[in-house]
Structure 1
């Protein structure tokens, strides 16, 4: 089993730069988990699977919700980016993922 956070840029009129980052938790099993663990922050991937909403109680007692994808397929969508080493994330995704979530 492997878990990762996937940053999805979305248009947002209220954001200063016109974009907001939507975070999705990706859960993968078996060969798809192996494929997911080969990627590092900033890699571009394509994930297909079933999306579901999860609810939990945060440490402060508030009720939270989030989305997760149970991955059926994890495919690399890497593209050549001149001047960027593989281990460096693109500048677009410098926001941290949400706090740890217990599903």
Structure 2
């Protein structure tokens, strides 16, 4: 097990599960483009990582949707298993300590307003107050 980070696209909407002790957890599958690794036909190689999150990270992950980019840092583990066809396979799971999505990175987690509607822009500009001290006076020494 090692601390690692991943950055990829969600394959589906995250799902919420409950542990045996009643704590909520989120599960998601993330497609990570493995930079520098190309298949024989020239396409980039995709590494599929299962993402697990608890607590605040669970809440952040559950706000994300299929197709969105997600970045996560946590403990990465590799598992090995034999597929139904008898071939040896591996799986990767990241237990998230930090999750950042487009919705968690934007203040309020909301979407941008259509047509550039920005409430701050519509407010009247405030008048600038003069500085409390005049720093342009001569130095007394």
**Is structure 2 residue 30 aligned with structure 1 residue 6?**
yes
Structure 1 residue runs of 5 or longer lacking an equivalent are 79-103
Q: Normalized against structure 2, the TM-score is what?
A: 0.47
Asked if the contact 1:54/1:65 (under 8 Å) is kept, the reply is yes
CA distance in 2, matches of 1:20, 1:65: 15
Structure 2 residue runs of 5 or longer lacking an equivalent are 1-24, 104-141
Q: How large is the RMSD of aligned CA atoms in angstroms? A: 2.1
CA distance in 2, matches of 1:62, 1:18: 23
Structure number with higher helix proportion:
2
Structure with the greater alpha carbon radius of gyration: 2
Query: Aligned to 2:65, which of 31, 40, 43?
Result: 40
Deviation at 1:56, TM superposition (A): 3.8
Greater RCO between the two (CA within 8 Å, min separation 6)?
A: 1
CA distance in 1, matches of 2:84, 2:55: 31
Deviation at 1:16, TM superposition (A): 2.4
Q: What is the correspondence of 1:54-93 to structure 2 with a 5 Å cutoff?
A: 54-59=79-84, 63-77=88-102
Asked if the contact 1:46/1:77 (under 8 Å) is kept, the reply is no
Which secondary structure does the structure 2 equivalent of 1:12 belong to?
A: strand
